[in-house]
C-alpha cells in the first residue's frame, strides 16, 4: 500500500492528513475490509444498495465478462485504526502500454457506476485516488467518471481537485439513458392481493416467482442470461441474510401477476427490479442530463515531466 501525505483545501478549510490508497482485486477483500466498506455506506454521498459490497462483489464475481476489475480503496490515517473513506469500483485498461484510461465500472443490473465516497471528505478522497493511480506501475493516464449529476458534489469536488493540482479535466454532457427494457403493462383490474415477503426461507421461492414473470417478458430478459440470473439469486440471498431484501408479490385469482424485488433495510428499501405488471402507473421524468468527466491522474508538473522525457 502506498501512503501519500498531503494537505487538502476543502470549502476554505485546510485539513492536514495522511491518506493511502490501494488497488485490490474484488475477490481479495477480507471480512474486516468488507465490514469497513459497509460502515462507510451511511456516510456516503449517494447511499443505496448499488454501492453495497454484497451487490458490487456479487456482480464482479458473476458479470465481469472479461473486464479487468479492481476496487480502489482510499483510507485516512490518524489516531487509531485507519478509516475507509472511499471505494471506487474501476474497470482497468487492458494491455501494458502506459497512459491508457481507467473508468468507474458501470455496474450491470444497476443504473450506472456506484462509487462510495465519504460526503465529508470528497475532494481528499479523489486527490488520494488520483495520486495513487499516477504512481509507478498502474499504467493509467486518465480516469473517466461517467454519469455524474451536473449539480452533484462529486463533479464539484473533481473540478476543485483538478484546478488545485493542474490536472487537465474534460467534461461532456449527455442525456440520461432510458430504461433498458420497455415499460411493463399496467396491473389488470380486479381483486388482487399483495404479499410482502421478507423472511429468508420464503424469499427464495418469491425470487423464483419473479424470474418466471421476468422470463415471460418479450425480448431479452434475465433468463436469457444465465450469469445475470445467477447474480440476481446471489444478491437477493446475501441481502436476505442481513434482513435487507424483500419481494412484493401481487396475486390475482391465486396467480402471481406482478413482483418487485426490494433491497435495503425495512423502511429504507428501494425497488431494484420489477416483473409482470407495474405496481403503479409510470411517472414521466423530465429530461435529465448527465456529465461524463475525464481527468488526468498525474498533476500538471508530473505530466509535463513525462512529456519532456518522452520527447
283 pLDDT more than 60: no
Among the listed residues 253, 263, 260, 262, the one whose alpha carbon sits nearest the alpha carbon of residue 275: 260
Lowest mean pLDDT among 54-58, 188-192, 280-284: 280-284
Q: Please give the Cα distance from 88 to 122 (Å, whole number).
A: 12
**Lowest pLDDT segment from 65-74, 114-123, 275-284:** 275-284
Torsion of CA 303, 94, 295, 109, to 10 degrees: -170
Q: Which of 256, 252, 260 is nearest to 232 (CA)?
A: 260
Which range of 22-26, 214-218, 254-258 scores highest in mean pLDDT? It is: 22-26
Residue 199: Cβ within 10 Å count:
10
Taking 80 as the threshold, does the pLDDT of residue 180 lie above it?
no
Distance CA 10, CA 270 (A): 32
Q: Is the pLDDT of residue 15 over 70?
A: no
Note the pLDDT of residue 181. 61
Q: What is the pLDDT of residue 221?
A: 85
User: What confidence category does residue 61 fall into, taking pLDDT thresholds of 50, 70 and 90?
Assistant: very high
pLDDT at residue 309 is higher than 80: no
Q: Which residues of 93-132 are buried (b: 16+ CB within 10 A; e: fewer)?
A: beeeeeeeebbbbebebbeebbbbbbeebbbbbbbbbbbb
284 vs 40, which has greater pLDDT?
Answer: 40
188 pLDDT band, cuts 50/70/90, is: low
Q: Which residue has the higher pLDDT, 15 or 253?
A: 253
The fraction of the chain above a pLDDT of 70, given in percent, is 85
Question: What distances in angstroms separate CA 137 from CA 27, 141, 159, 162, one per listed residue?
Answer: 21, 11, 26, 22
The answer to whether the beta carbons of residues 58 and 1 sit under 8 Å apart is no
Q: Helices (H) and strands (E) in the chain — how many of each?
A: 7, 13
| Cβ atoms of 74 and 129 closer than 8 Å | yes
Per-residue pLDDT averaged across 84-107, rounded? 90
Q: DSSP strand E in the chain: where?
A: 2-10, 13-24, 68-77, 83-92, 100-104, 116-117, 140-148, 169-175, 193-197, 245-252, 255-263, 270-275, 289-296
Asked whether residue 40 carries a pLDDT value surpassing 80, the answer given is: yes
- Is residue 307 within a helix (H) or strand (E), and if so which, with residue range? helix 300-310
Q: How many CB atoms lie within 10 A of CB 71?
A: 23
Rounded to an integer, what distance in angstroms lies between the CA atom of residue 128 and that of residue 119? 15
Range in 197-206, 260-269, 277-286 with the lowest mean pLDDT: 277-286
Mean pLDDT of 213-221: 85
3 state DSSP class of 232: helix
CB atoms under 10 Å from CB of 140, counted, come to 24
Amino acid at each position: 500500500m502506498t501512503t501519500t501525505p498531503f494537505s487538502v483545501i476543502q470549502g476554505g478549510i485546510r485539513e492536514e492528513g495522511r491518506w493511502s490508497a490501494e488497488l485490490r482485486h474484488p475477490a481479495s477483500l477480507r471480512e474486516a475490509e468488507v465490514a469497513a466498506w459497509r460502515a462507510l455506506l451511511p456516510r456516503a454521498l449517494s447511499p443505496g444498495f448499488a454501492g453495497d459490497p454484497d451487490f458490487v462483489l456479487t456482480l464482479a464475481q458473476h458479470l465481469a465478462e472479461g473486464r479487468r476489475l479492481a476496487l480502489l480503496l482510499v483510507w485516512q490515517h490518524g489516531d487509531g485504526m485507519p478509516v475507509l473513506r472511499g471505494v471506487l469500483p474501476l474497470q482497468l485498461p487492458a494491455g501494458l502500454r502506459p497512459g491508457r484510461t481507467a473508468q468507474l465500472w458501470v455496474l450491470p443490473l444497476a443504473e450506472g457506476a456506484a462509487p462510495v465516497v465519504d460526503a465529508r471528505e470528497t475532494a481528499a478522497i479523489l486527490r488520494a485516488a488520483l495520486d495513487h493511480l499516477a504512481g509507478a506501475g498502474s499504467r493509467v493516464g486518465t480516469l473517466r467518471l461517467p454519469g455524474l449529476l451536473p449539480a452533484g458534489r462529486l463533479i464539484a469536488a473533481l473540478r476543485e481537485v483538478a484546478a488545485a493540482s493542474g490536472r487537465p479535466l474534460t467534461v461532456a454532457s449527455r442525456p440520461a439513458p432510458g430504461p433498458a427494457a420497455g415499460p411493463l403493462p399496467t396491473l389488470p383490474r380486479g381483486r388482487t392481493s399483495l404479499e410482502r415477503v421478507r423472511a429468508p426461507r420464503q424469499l427464495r421461492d418469491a425470487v423464483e416467482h419473479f424470474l418466471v414473470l421476468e422470463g415471460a417478458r418479450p425480448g431479452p430478459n434475465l433468463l436469457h442470461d444465465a450469469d445475470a440470473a445467477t447474480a440476481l439469486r446471489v444478491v437477493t440471498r446475501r441481502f436476505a441474510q442481513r434482513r435487507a431484501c424483500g419481494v412484493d408479490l401481487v396475486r390475482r385469482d391465486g396467480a402471481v401477476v406482478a413482483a418487485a424485488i426490494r433491497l435495503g433495510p425495512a423502511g429504507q428499501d428501494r425497488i431494484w427490479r420489477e416483473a409482470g405488471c407495474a405496481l403503479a402507473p409510470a411517472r414521466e421524468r423530465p429530461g435529465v442530463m448527465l456529465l461524463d468527466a475525464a481527468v488526468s491522474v498525474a498533476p500538471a508538473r508530473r505530466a509535463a515531466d513525462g512529456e519532456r522525457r518522452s520527447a
